[in-house]
């Protein structure tokens, strides 16, 4: 049972435009969500997170939106840069717990 | 650099063998996690240790075991290796038991032949 799903395996955008990566979850116990970026041959790098008490969190070019009723979150990158090209993983956890449940990842390619 | 150090970076071994993967958490972090990333399974939680004690268990096979030592470094032991155990094994750490910010190492790439 895939509790966290990223339905788009890949996304391609032009430099300077907005990248929107989507993530859906099914477990209503999840109340903390994270986005990680991963380059080949490297570990996942923490990007941004959001608690279920918020519906938006912003950090520079990265904004995460959470729609609890739809069990959906999205990561917006504005403006997109070629260096943003990587695999992006959505992850979820219960605040009272420790384990992260990951989505399958979305390969973002930003074209110059 | 996340501050989480894993060794070895690459390992090739034969079926039936045993290997040990090592992890040093970020300075001050008490929780250590192990995750497995295989081609068909994505990133899967294996096990968590906090201050030397096992605290959470995920999809970890009985052939695998882990421990966290008094200096907080951790080892993941994989025995009776099978071809399907070939994967990237990540260690991660956080400051607290239910840490919301979890930092990952660069991984140990295990190939079983």
- The percent of residues above 90 in pLDDT, for chain B, comes to 87
Q: Which residues contact A69 (CB under 8 A, 6 or more apart)?
A: none
pLDDT for B38: 87
pLDDT for B12: 97
A61 and A77 Cβ atoms separated by less than 8 Å: yes
Chain B neighbors of A107, CB-CB under 8 A: none
Chain B neighbors of A99, CB-CB under 8 A: 33, 45, 48, 56, 58
pLDDT for A98: 85
Flag if A101 and B101 touch (Cβ within 8 Å): no
pLDDT tens digits, one per residue of B2-24: 899 999 999 999 999 999 999 99
Q: Which residue has the higher pLDDT, B23 or B59?
A: B23
Classify residue A48 as exposed, middle or buried by CB count within 10 Å of its CB (0-12, 13-18, 19+). middle
pLDDT for A72: 97
Q: How far is B45 from chain A (nearest CA, A)?
A: 7
Any idea which residue has 């155990």 for tokens? Answer: B85
**B 40-69 residues with CB below 8 A of A?**
42-45, 48, 50, 55-56, 58
Q: How far apart are the first and last CA of chain B?
A: 31
Cβ neighbours of A16 (radius 10 Å): 11
Any idea which residue has 């497995």 for tokens? Answer: B36
Give the distance from CA B19 to its chain's centroid.
Answer: 12
Instruction: Give me the phi and psi of B73, to 5 degrees please.
Output: -75, 160
Which parts of chain A register pLDDT below 70?
A: 1
Residue B40 has pLDDT above 90, yes or no: no
Residue B41 has pLDDT above 80, yes or no: no
Mean model confidence pLDDT for chain B: 94
pLDDT for B96: 86
pLDDT for A49: 94
Determine the 3-state secondary structure of B57 from DSSP.
Answer: strand
Kindly indicate the confidence band of residue B59, based on its pLDDT and cuts at 50, 70 and 90.
confident
Determine the 3-state secondary structure of B36 from DSSP.
Answer: strand
| Omega cis (within 30) before B98 | no
User: Which residue in B111, B105, B84, B104 sits closest to B7, CA to CA?
Assistant: B105
CA distance B30 to A75: 29
- The percent of residues above 70 in pLDDT, for chain B, comes to 100
């Amino acid at each position: 049972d895939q509790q966290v799903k990223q339905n788009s395996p890949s996304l391609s955008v032009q430099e300077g435009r907005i990248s929107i990566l989507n993530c859906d979850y099914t477990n209503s116990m999840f109340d903390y969500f994270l986005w990680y970026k991963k380059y080949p041959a490297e570990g996942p790098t923490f990007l941004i997170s959001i608690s279920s008490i918020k519906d938006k969190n912003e950090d520079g070019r990265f904004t995460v939106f959470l729609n609890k009723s739809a069990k959906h979150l999205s990561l917006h990158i504005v403006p997109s840069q070629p260096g943003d090209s990587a695999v992006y993983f959505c992850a979820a956890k219960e605040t009272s717990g420790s384990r992260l449940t990951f989505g399958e990842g979305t390969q973002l390619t930003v074209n110059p | 650099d996340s501050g989480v150090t894993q060794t070895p970076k690459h390992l090739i071994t034969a079926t039936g063998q045993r290997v040990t993967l090592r992890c040093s958490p970020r300075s001050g972090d008490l929780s250590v996690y192990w995750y497995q990333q295989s081609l068909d399974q994505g990133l899967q939680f294996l096990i968590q240790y906090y201050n030397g004690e096992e605290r959470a268990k995920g999809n970890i096979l009985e052939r695998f075991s882990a421990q966290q030592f008094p200096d907080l470094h951790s080892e993941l032991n994989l025995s009776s290796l099978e071809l399907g155990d070939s994967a990237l094994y990540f260690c991660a750490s956080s400051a607290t038991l239910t840490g919301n910010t979890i930092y990952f190492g660069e991984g140990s790439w295990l190939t079983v032949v």
